[in-house]
């Protein structure tokens, strides 16, 4: 068996090298050439390409756009093989598990295929079945790709060659997550929970009893494809209302939840029973609370035209140190904002903003977090869907409105004052050390024990300056004492007064100011 395995790997390596030679990669790589190579190398490489198409932080944008054209449909596995995989995973024959199980798949892709079925309880479901052996095949191909990675030369945004070993590792990590259907089950349940309070949104339930890492059984939800305007109108739907609600829900997923559908193309969206149906929750984007806060600040800075703030936020987003040549970053951001200066920012095309931001990041050797790059791609995809059914709805305008509302909701005077009080109280622990340290410094000066590398003449200016400094220090200490005392009062259980804080604490803050 080991010999057969090694023989298979050698044969596959020869196949990969033959394809690379056929496309003459030593003469350079182009987006079209890379897509054609992936297509010729078969299903697992098609999946790799689809994953890479979502990562403009890893590959230049032209390559991502071209890889996005890869066809997902591949030859389906036989019914016997699919049924055998279900039986292997669930421990019982298909006939005992399902009242009906369609022999023909409704979809077939590189990692899995999907069949319609009916449970013994009568509930309609879809059964997603992972191709047997696909994990080992992809793992082998990743190993072989590492061996030939030195032949693949693609220049990044800064002109430097991309580290293809890193690209392969990123690709393999994403593929492993996608091959574990329990991850998708967890995500589907989290999505349902976060959107349970949205009356016009639904998504499939997961049947955990029938699900494993290689088989996923979910509720079947039919409906009208969201981009079928004629069918929607025939059923009496208002297309503008659908477009607006779709945009509002997606912005809510991003800004409020930090957990959003990363691939909202028409095939993953239906309208059924007056509700928008979200399907295929295997690819979800995440934004931390910090990232969502930074996103709100960045949008506000862009609207104000605050170049400095936007530059600083971009560096924080990318966890990057301040560049040696900050002037170049400043100029790039300023030029980008100048494009929109005469426009209503809320009416700007998201695809254009995304393209400009990626260009700025690439020129300044900045790498956006994966969640942010997935958000950019998701917003562009959603914008395209909405433009087909309701061109009047602008996703950026919806987002700006939601962000401004959330900022107002977040600002609670009482809470902000208490946060300030807590920070002052924490800092106040060090305040008692300051007078003694300053007194010690003055004592040294008065006794003449300190030595300065300057010569003071009989001029009285320095002494007067020292007197003024001492007076200001005394005043500052009094103010600090008031602030710390007010902070302690704010954290107490005294009756609340103005802005939801004790009256004495409020008065202390006013006096200190």
Residue 495 burial (CB count, 10 A): 8
Q: For 274, phi and psi rounded to 5 degrees?
A: 75, 10
Rounded to whole angstroms, the Cα distance separating 228 from 68 reads 22
Rounded to whole angstroms, the Cα distance separating 87 from 349 reads 49
Q: What angle do CA 312, 313, 319 make, to 5 degrees?
A: 95
Give the residue among 257, 53, 217 at the shortest CA–CA distance from 129.
Answer: 217
Classify strands 284-286 and 259-261 as parallel, antiparallel or unpaired. Answer: antiparallel
**DSSP assigned state of 161:** B
Helix (H), strand (E), coil (C) string for 135-203 = HHHHHHHHHHHHHHHHHCCCECCCCCECCHHHHHHHHHHHHHHHHCHHHHHHHHHHHHHHCCCCCCEEC
DSSP helix/strand/coil, 230: helix
Rounded to whole angstroms, the Cα distance separating 110 from 38 reads 12
Q: For 224, phi and psi rounded to 5 degrees?
A: -95, 130
DSSP helix/strand/coil, 473: helix
| CA 473 to centroid of chain Cα atoms | 47
Rounded to whole angstroms, the Cα distance separating 183 from 12 reads 30
Rounded to whole angstroms, the Cα distance separating 269 from 158 reads 37
Rounded to whole angstroms, the Cα distance separating 73 from 50 reads 12
Give the residue among 390, 133, 152, 400 at the shortest CA–CA distance from 255.
Answer: 400
Query: Max alpha carbon distance in the chain (Å)?
Result: 106
pLDDT for res 56: 74
Classify strands 112-119 and 259-261 as parallel, antiparallel or unpaired. Answer: unpaired
Rounded to whole angstroms, the Cα distance separating 190 from 197 reads 13
Q: Tens place of pLDDT for every residue, the chain, 513 residues? A: 455 556 678 888 888 889 888 988 878 888 999 899 988 888 778 888 887 887 776 777 788 889 888 866 678 999 999 999 999 999 999 999 999 999 999 998 889 999 999 999 999 999 999 999 999 988 998 888 888 777 666 645 444 556 778 778 878 888 898 899 999 999 999 999 999 999 999 999 999 999 999 999 999 999 999 999 999 999 999 999 999 999 999 999 999 999 999 989 999 999 999 999 999 998 899 999 999 999 999 988 888 889 999 999 999 988 888 777 788 899 999 998 888 776 666 667 888 888 888 888 888 888 888 888 889 889 999 999 999 999 999 998 899 888 876 554 444 455 545 545 555 555 554 555 555 555 555 555 555 555 544 444 444 544 554 555 555 555 555 555 655 566 665 655 656 665 556 655 555 555 555
Give the residue among 202, 199, 146 at the shortest CA–CA distance from 171.
Answer: 146
For the chain, how many helices (H) and strands (E)? 21, 11
Contact 108, 128 (CB under 8 A): no
pLDDT for res 230: 95
pLDDT for res 406: 58
Rounded to whole angstroms, the Cα distance separating 279 from 443 reads 74
pLDDT for res 480: 58
Contact 393, 386 (CB under 8 A): yes
| Distances, alpha carbon 311 to alpha carbons 81, 171, 323, 329, 393, in Å | 55, 30, 11, 7, 29
Q: Which residue has the tokens 């001029």?
A: 459
Contact 369, 222 (CB under 8 A): no
Rounded to whole angstroms, the Cα distance separating 186 from 227 reads 28
Rounded to whole angstroms, the Cα distance separating 397 from 244 reads 11
Rounded to whole angstroms, the Cα distance separating 172 from 30 reads 22
Q: For 216, phi and psi rounded to 5 degrees?
A: -130, 120
DSSP helix/strand/coil, 429: coil
Classify strands 275-278 and 201-202 as parallel, antiparallel or unpaired. Answer: parallel
Q: Which two tokens stand for residue 115?
A: 């069949």
| Distances, alpha carbon 316 to alpha carbons 1, 73, 85, 371, in Å | 52, 40, 47, 14
Contact 306, 330 (CB under 8 A): no
| CA 337 to centroid of chain Cα atoms | 23
Report the chain's C-alpha Rg in angstroms: 31
Give the residue among 134, 169, 137, 182 at the shortest CA–CA distance from 282.
Answer: 182
Q: For 206, phi and psi rounded to 5 degrees?
A: -100, 135
């Amino acid at each position: 068996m080991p010999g057969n395995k090694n023989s298979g790997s050698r044969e596959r390596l020869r196949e990969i090298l033959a394809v690379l030679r056929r496309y003459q990669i030593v003469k350079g790589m182009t987006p079209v050439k890379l897509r054609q190579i992936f297509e010729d190398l078969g299903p697992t490489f098609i999946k790799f390409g689809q994953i890479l198409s979502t990562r403009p932080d890893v590959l230049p944008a032209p390559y991502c756009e071209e890889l996005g054209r890869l066809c997902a449909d591949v030859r389906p596995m036989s019914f016997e093989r699919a049924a055998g995989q279900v039986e292997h995973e669930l421990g019982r024959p298909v006939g005992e598990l399902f009242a009906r199980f369609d022999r023909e798949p409704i979809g077939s892709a590189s990692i899995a295929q999907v069949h319609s079925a009916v449970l013994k309880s009568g509930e309609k479901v879809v059964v997603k079945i992972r191709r047997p052996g696909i994990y080992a095949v992809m793992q082998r191909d990743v190993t072989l790709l590492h061996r030939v990675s030195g032949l693949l030369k693609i220049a990044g945004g800064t002109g430097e060659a991309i580290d293809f070993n890193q690209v392969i590792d990123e690709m393999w990590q994403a593929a492993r997550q996608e091959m574990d259907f329990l991850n998708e089950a967890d995500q589907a349940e989290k999505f349902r929970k976060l959107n349970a309070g949205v009356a016009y949104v639904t998504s499939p339930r997961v049947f955990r009893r029938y699900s494993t890492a290689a088989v996923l059984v979910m509720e079947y939800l039919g409906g009208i494809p969201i981009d079928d305007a004629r069918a929607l109108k025939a059923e009496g739907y208002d297309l503008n209302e659908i477009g607006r609600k779709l945009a509002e829900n997606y912005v809510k997923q991003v800004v409020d939840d930090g957990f959003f559908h990363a691939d909202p193309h028409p095939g993953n969206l239906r309208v059924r029973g007056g509700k928008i149906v979200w399907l295929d929750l295997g690819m979800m984007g995440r934004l931390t609370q910090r990232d969502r806060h930074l996103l709100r600040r960045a949008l506000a800075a862009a609207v104000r035209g605050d170049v400095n703030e936007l530059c600083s936020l971009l560096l924080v987003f990318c966890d990057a140190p301040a560049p040696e040549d900050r002037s170049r970053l400043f100029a790039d951001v300023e030029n980008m904002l100048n494009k929109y200066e005469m426009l209503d920012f809320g009416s700007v095309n998201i695809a254009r903003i995304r393209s400009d931001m990626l260009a700025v990041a690439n020129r300044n050797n900045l790498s956006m977090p994966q969640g942010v790059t997935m958000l950019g791609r998701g917003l562009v995809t959603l914008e395209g869907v909405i433009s087909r059914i309701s061109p009047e709805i602008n996703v950026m305008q919806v987002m700006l409105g939601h962000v401004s509302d959330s900022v107002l909701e977040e600002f609670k005077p009482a809470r902000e004052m208490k946060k300030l009080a807590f920070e002052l109280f924490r800092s106040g622990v060090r305040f008692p050390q300051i007078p003694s340290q300053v007194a010690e410094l003055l004592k040294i000066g008065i006794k003449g024990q300190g030595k300065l590398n300057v010569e003071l003449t009989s001029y009285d200016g320095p002494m007067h300056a020292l007197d003024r400094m001492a007076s200001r220090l005394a005043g500052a200490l009094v103010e600090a004492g008031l602030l710390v005392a007010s902070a302690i009062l704010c954290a107490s259980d005294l009756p609340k007064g103005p802005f939801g804080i004790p009256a004495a604490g409020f008065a202390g803050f006013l006096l200190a100011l």
